[in-house]
Amino acid sequence: MLERVLSSRRATPVSDDGDEAGDESKTRKHISVATRVTNYVIRTGHLWPCLLIGLVIVLVTSFVYHTRDLVCISASSSDHLSRLRFFGFEGLETDFGSLGVPWCRTKHDRTVEWTTKDLIKGLEEFVPIYETRPIKNNMYGMGFDHSFGLWFITRWLKPELMIESGAFKGHSTWVLRQAMPDTRIISLTPRHPEKYLKKGPAYVDENCTYFAGKDFVDFGNVDWGKVMKKHGIKDRSQVLVFFDDHQNELKRLKQALKAGFRHLVFEDNYDTGTGDHYSFRQMCDQFYIRGGGHSCIKDSDEGRIRARRKKFWEKAVDIDELCGPGEAWWGVRGQMRDDFNHSNKAISYAEHFKNSRFVESVLDVYWELPPVAGPSLTHQTRYDPARASSPIVEDGRVTEV
């Protein structure tokens, strides 16, 4: 059945109000989760932005900023590039991570408790939940992948309080509510989601305290001691903070540390050379980290591979886009972006390196949500899988770990 589905079906158009044409049941219990997710992916095609703006969770415990002597490392990316396998256009669907997937190091090399089997089980439960979402067409907001990731992490951690910075129309608030039906939410967002109700679907939660509109306060300026006392929170490790505000993630990390929060989820984890703010993926893209570091030489292995991939993947980044003046590739062409790209600061590689070392000195756990499915299911040609980990479901199969 699955082979017939993959060979004969393509993404079904979505109407303006978000309803999928030719809907079929995906909640029948006798259908496998792989098939159900496959059918959903094929019909919607909403999944792929996670390849470049992957959702990431970090767990921190240290509330003291550690300083380290700067250690300069001179290295070449040729070691990992020499091991790259470039399959040609006919094999582009299966070469996930062929250009490296830099992963932030942590203090004790700990990892998350959940497994791929847990993710699959979560997908089986989440698919029918997602179809009840009030905002069917969440353009410029989270799609299926990140919605699932936020829901899954929240369900797993079971926080006593949830904080979100950046709510837009309220989709992420709705996702948090589905994960924890009775838990209090605090939402910090410049524009109240109710304002969007005048033009279309939006979500406003009855059990949520909004710092929005004229009452908006930036995350870094909130008196969290007062807020925690008001909500009866004594242990801030029982609080989950979700950032979808397009702010410098190093800045947000330091602000969260100062406030005493441990469980942080970031939605927009942009890859090096892309995005409107400095991300964990960018900070941890270093020569000393496996899969990290870049060459700005067009005739290098990386340069040739990127040029070739650019011809096939619309959002692929070539050397001209990756590298700025003076062969500055870190961040975005040597810049540390912030605030929706309204604020830019040129940084040296030494500063970029120091930022990475600080991050790994305070992180207990770092995890990036993998794509839910591969391009053989989504039939998309926009986002390049060469900088993404293997998907949970690929060609109708579950990725084993």
Query: pLDDT tens-digit profile of 158-217?
Result: 999 999 999 999 999 999 999 999 999 999 999 999 999 989 999 999 999 999 999 999
- How far apart (Å, rounded) are the C-alpha atoms in residues 360 and 109? 10
Do the beta carbons of residue 54 and residue 48 sit within 8 Å?
Answer: no
> What's the pLDDT at 248?
97
* Residue linked to tokens 């005493």: 260
Phi/psi at 25 (5° precision): -70, 135
Say if CB 97 and CB 387 are below 8 A apart.
yes
Calculate mean pLDDT across residues 72-101: 50
pLDDT band at 36 (very low <50, low <70, confident <90, very high): low
**Whether residue 227 has pLDDT greater than 50:** yes
Distance CA 398, CA 372 (A): 10
Encode 142-165: b = buried (16+ Cβ within 10 Å), e = exposed. Answer: bbbbbbbbbbbbbeebebbbbbbb
pLDDT-wise least confident of 32-41, 263-272, 352-361, 381-390: 32-41
How many distinct structural domains can be found in the chain?
A: 1
For 143-171, what is the mean pLDDT? 97
In the chain the first and final C-alpha atoms are separated, in Å, by 25
Handedness of CA 269, 274, 278, 282 (dihedral sign): positive
Task: Share the mean pLDDT of the chain.
Answer: 82
Q: Which domain holds residue 359?
A: 2-398
From residue 135, alpha-carbon distances to 18, 68, 180, 215, 315 in Å are 8, 46, 19, 25, 26
**Is a pLDDT exceeding 80 seen at residue 51?**
no
CA dist 277 and 244 (Å) reads: 11
Please give the pLDDT value at position 127: 96
Sign of CA dihedral 65, 269, 296, 86: positive
Residue 43 confidence (pLDDT)? 59
Q: Over 70: is that where the pLDDT of 48 sits? A: no
What is the SS3 assignment for 68-127?
CCCCCCCCCCHHHHCCCCCCCHHHHHHCCCCCCCCCCCCCCCCCCCCCHHHHHHHHHHHH
260 secondary structure, DSSP code: T
Assess contact for 5 and 24: CB atoms under 8 A: no
Report the candidate in 222, 122, 113 with the shortest Cα–Cα distance to residue 165. 222
Alpha-helical segments (H) within 249-300 = 249-259, 280-283
Helix (H/G/I), strand (E/B), else coil: 40: helix
CA dihedral 321, 377, 291, 356 (to 10 degrees): 70
> Is pLDDT larger for residue 203 or for residue 65?
203
| pLDDT at residue 151 tops 60 | yes
Counting beta carbons within 10 angstroms of the beta carbon of residue 45, is it exposed (0 to 12), middle (13 to 18) or buried (19 or more)? buried
* Cα–Cα–Cα angle for 212, 216, 217, rounded to 5 degrees: 140
- Name the 3-class secondary structure at 346: strand
Give the integer Cα–Cα distance in Å for 316 and 387.
10
pLDDT at position 29, please? 43
